[in-house]
Structure 1
Amino acid sequence: MTLSVPTGRAVDLRAQPVDEILDRVERSLQTRFDRDSVVRKRRSLGARTDRDTWVRIERRLLNKIGDQGWNGTERAARLMGISQPAWQGCVVWLDADEPAMWRADETELLLGGPIGTAVLSEDPQLSDAWWRAFNASLDALAAQSTSRVATPDTEPITQDLVTASIRGTFPGAFDTTVEQWLPAHADLNWANMTTPTFCLFDWEDWGNAPRGLDSASLWASSLAVPALADRVWRERHADFASRDGELMTLFVCSKILGPDAHSQDPRLEPARQMVEQTVQELHSD
């Protein structure tokens, strides 16, 4: 029997008071936050502590927490060969008023500053050394093994989701069956990596996903800067050249071109061009 989980209201942590949440985490982790360092996002908070660590706090509805649990950052600590901030510990609690859970993970400080927002409008001018470290970490991640399922946008990625996303936006006669499922970060964008030293953070949603999800996601985040999108494509060419990489290209383009498309999004036209090319290639496979 499948138990139903009540749904709660969405909360935007950029808009609501958060002092009580910060106070609770301070007491639980026995530390103090630098309140001037607090970063507020829609469903997460982050702040520097007085022991020179970083704490990320997230609220997630219970119906968005599957059977595998909600411990991506903790589980990522065992991954080898990846540049990421070392995990220190956590505190988790159930919301007293809503069907939601809170989680605060403490890690070492980042090795550099975040590159920018999730979608860039300017070239960050990354060094060749940065790209080498980036490739080494993504290759090391894909070579490992996990029972976790990736949850991009907090939704478990499944064959049905891939097919529905692609078919719902790009109907056609080509096969959408994924052949390779490999560990992926599942939230790879320019807000979750640092420069000048490469470091990849925010591991809440990592797990097995179709090959090429991370590469395609970063490429899609770069489309407003053509030279940067081209660099991502060249660096991760092996992913994009695979059949699964082609499917993931369509998967990420479905988010740009689908029902929620924004008419002023500068990524629309390059995404359309890539979809046309990719669909032709899939038909010829």
Structure 2
Amino acid sequence: MKESIQYKIFKVFNTIILLLIVFLTLYPFINVVAQSFSSEAYINSGKVSLFPRGFNVETYKTVIKDTMFWTNYKNTVIYTVVGTAISMVLTTMFAYALSKKRLIGRRPLTLFAVFTMFFNGGLIPNYVLINSLGMANTMWAIVLPGAISIYNMLIMKSFFENMPDELEEAASIDGLNQYGILLKIILPLSKAVIATMILFYAVAYWNSWFSAFLYLDQKELFPVTIYLRNMIAGATSGMNSGATSADNLTQIAANIKSVTMVLTILPILTIYPFVQKYFVTGVMLGSVK
């Protein structure tokens, strides 16, 4: 079928607009990467845009030698893995139960869950609760309070509701109970939404810093986001490390934020391509009835 001139013009303009959007989206990150490899003079004078100026890796060397950075990095990995695992188990079970119309009290439970999206106890009651439960200065203060995202749960609930009832009926006839149906029938058919939820939770835990800032006092328990926050606030741990000399303090001060941002975001950029194919499919299947 021959394309009309109007359609060809539309494709050209559409391509240009999309490329412009991509450039505007990527520019801040490219600029951060460029600054992380640039020298202090060019950064302070505002001459760094898309490419490094005065190539310098001194700050990378200093941060990598900082043992506290790697301790906090390890904490972030642990919090993300454990938190995502707990969240997926609880969210999947809650969503699957609420997706069953025969569940007694289904509507009140759903309304109760939705209610928590708009109202909560407040910062001080939450802080008092975490302390009274003995979870302060532990991993559980990070991974348990936000273990279930109601938004994610509703997406999974809608996804499960779209599953044909005949699948469960056939499985029941074959002798499977509810747990068997969920594990052997439903979950294998839900890879798209599961991968999407894992990405949502993992990114949320990886980027989270306020819970750690609120409930953790020991530096050895901080996630890497607190390390980054302290850099931005001026508590430059990398500059204070023993490996840092007075000659390169100004260089480190100039791009310590950029270097730490790059090192922090790398794992997410590495994982995302493997789950990207499920991302749009999972969200759309769970949100369109």
**Larger strand percent:** 1
TM more than 0.5: no
TM-score band (shorter)?
under 0.3
User: What TM-score do you get using the length of structure 1 for normalisation?
Assistant: 0.21
**Larger helix percent:** 2
Task: Find the structure with the greater CA-based Rg.
Answer: 2
